Amino acid sequence: MDISQRIEELRREIRDHDYRYYVLAEPSIDDQAYDMLMKELEALEAEHPELVSPDSPTMRVGSDISSEFPQREHAVPMLSIANTYSREEVEDFDRRTRSLLDSDDIRYTCELKIDGIALSLHYRDGVLHSAVTRGDGRVGEDVTQNVRTIRSIPLRFADSGSCEIRGEVYMELEAFSRMNEVREAQDEKAFANPRNATAGSLKLLDPKQVAARPLKYFAYWLRLEDNMPETQWDALAQLRQFGFPVNSERALCKNSDEIMNFASGMEAKRSDLPYDIDGIVIKVDSFAQFEELGATAKSPRGVVAYKFSAEQAETILEDIIFQVGRTGTVTPVAVLSPVFLAGSTISRATLHNEQEIARKDIRVGDTVVIEKGGDIIPKVVEVVVEKRVADSTPFEFITNCPVCGTELVRDESEVAVRCVNAACPAQVEKRILHFASREAMNIEGLGPSNITKIISTTGITDFASLYSLTDEQIDNIPSWKEKSRVNFKLALENSKKRSLAQFIFSLGIRHVGAGAARTLASTFRSLDKLMAANREKLEQIDDIGSTVADSILEFFNNESNREIIENLRKHGLPFEEIQPEPVNDFVFSNKSFVLTGTLPTMTRSEAADSIRARGGKVVSSVSGKTDYVLAGENPGSKFDKAQALGISIIDEEAFFRMLGN
């Protein structure tokens, strides 16, 4: 496999994990494994800048933005923090910091990494004016009314100026457990862990419900208009003086040895803390030095997180069951004797695939060690062989689908085992869930429970049939009142207004994530043209390699899929991308643009769409044929190469003038 193929493979895998985490809320790997994929991609792109793509996962920050709340742009971006997992990586951070600053006079403020939700508070004249989530780092959601209900956040404080304060919203473990007990007593689903409960609470539409949730806040960042402290340590003291809750577990360290001593002490103390932590945050204490270090496209250079090892526990593996995904992949799941681990009770754990079970020789009845990978996904680490019962026998993987009984197929090129019956009820439910998800057709209110009700009541076997449901069928859906029925019909109509990119993504083509769907939509501008494209045409497109091309061809050559698509056409789904009216066509026509860095007010995808709409081309690497480089903050090596080649470099303001704005 050559470098370009590996880069494409990494991008596809990371996008798939992003989709599972942010859209489905069903992460399939832990934080550390995800970070390793991202680091490999970053390293390969750094070595081969000509292969960097504007929509590479390395160019974005994770997002929690939904459509329920107004969006607000952060005055100072809330960038993500790079992770470290070993003493060696912390030592590398310390060494690199000293080298970049050319100084040994450095201190680090070390704080706990609370497992909560980042929140920015804005005060005007000492009064809380707005509260904004991190979002994608550049734009977040205004959840002010909900945040006013959190009693540890002052609505007013003594300082009469304007400032911004950032911190973490979280739940204490004991309060979380009590809340879950109440939910279960009321026949409501318990939350998986405090972080999920916190995130869900901030997104509730009724502040009264938020007020009933045990939310708390730790402040850790301060920005004042005047009289700003010179160090992070002093800023924390100032926050406490203002009346904000500040975590007392922190240390001022001179070197990596002192940092690791603090980290080791907190890891040992971790299980005794009243809240979840997953590591420590190490910040260059001096704000002047912090600013001098600057930032990469994703992370400030003056701060890293040191992540603790995942907590482990022993329990009994009582059974192995199987789940069927939307593409037919059959995944084994361990049923465990419930055990409390890292803030929640675990009774299920992923076993990944048949090869993993065989490699670890996992058997029903075994005593197993489990951990939360990255404190998110429970997984079986190993079998305690010495505790295995005498009559234990090796586990035999199933040969037929556990839902529909179809014989399973083993793909020689993958570890996956698949059910190839497209009408399998489990696949139907997952495909409809994907079709209705936020990044796809965004059919509000169509979650797993409602999809199950619709399928069991109406017998539909594909997502296109949603649009064919009669009033009588909708009226018969169990427990739906008049408002639910009206909202469902309205949501279906609204879904017809989505973009072509969302429509392509919603079809569930293997290996085609949201980013690839946008690329396909902007290239073909029509689903019919995409369906008619051959392999050569597909492989010529940036970010669409041979694997993705094969998936697209296979999908559209399937007769059942084409029938579903024709049914969607009848109901008015968006088969065409609306072409904007060309503006200043002569300025952009046949001109080649490279985009790099973070633009002040628009995303690179928006800029790229504007260029293509006016007849220009967007390419991923700088060469002698490049006409313009549109550069934002932290532009990287592309900016340097453009300067060396004498290529025109423009900023966003100049770009707007070219657009005629």
Q: For the chain, what is the radius of gyration of the CA atoms?
A: 26
Spatial distance between the Cα atoms of 636 and 58, rounded to a whole number of angstroms: 13
**312 membership: H or E segment, kind and range:** strand 312-324
Spatial separation of the C-alpha atoms in residues 167 and 218, rounded to whole Å:
5
Separation between Cα atoms, residue 96 and residue 451, nearest integer Å: 52
Q: What is the pLDDT of residue 302?
A: 95
* Other Cβ atoms within 10 Å of 263 Cβ, number: 22
Residue 202: both structure tokens together: 């901030």
Give the residue ranges of the chain where pLDDT is below 50. Answer: 22-23, 25, 61-63, 65-67, 374-375, 582, 584
Predicted confidence at residue 113, as pLDDT, reads 95
Backbone angles phi, psi at 147, to 5 degrees: -70, -30
What's residue 25's pLDDT?
47
Rounded Cα–Cα distance for residues 446 and 133 (Å): 25
> How far is 515 from 40, CA to CA, in rounded Å?
19
Q: What is the pLDDT of residue 301?
A: 93
Question: For residue 370, what is the enclosing H or E element?
Answer: strand 367-373
Looking at residue 375, its pLDDT comes to 46
Q: Please give the pLDDT value at position 55.
A: 56
Between CA 485 and CA 487 the distance in angstroms is 5
pLDDT of residue 192: 73
CA distance 301 to 78: 13
Per DSSP, the three-state class of 449 is helix
- Active-site positions? 113
**pLDDT for the residue numbered 68:** 61
Across the beta sheet with 592-596, what order do the strands follow?
Answer: 617-618, 592-596, 628-631, 648-650
pLDDT of residue 61: 43
Q: Which residues pair with 315 in a beta bridge?
A: 368
Contact 613, 579 (CB under 8 A): yes
SS3 358: helix
Count Cα neighbours of 491 within 13 Å in the Cβ-side half-sphere.
19
Mean pLDDT, the chain, rounded, equals: 85
State percent of the chain over pLDDT 90: 39
Cβ–Cβ under 8 Å, residues 57 and 15: yes
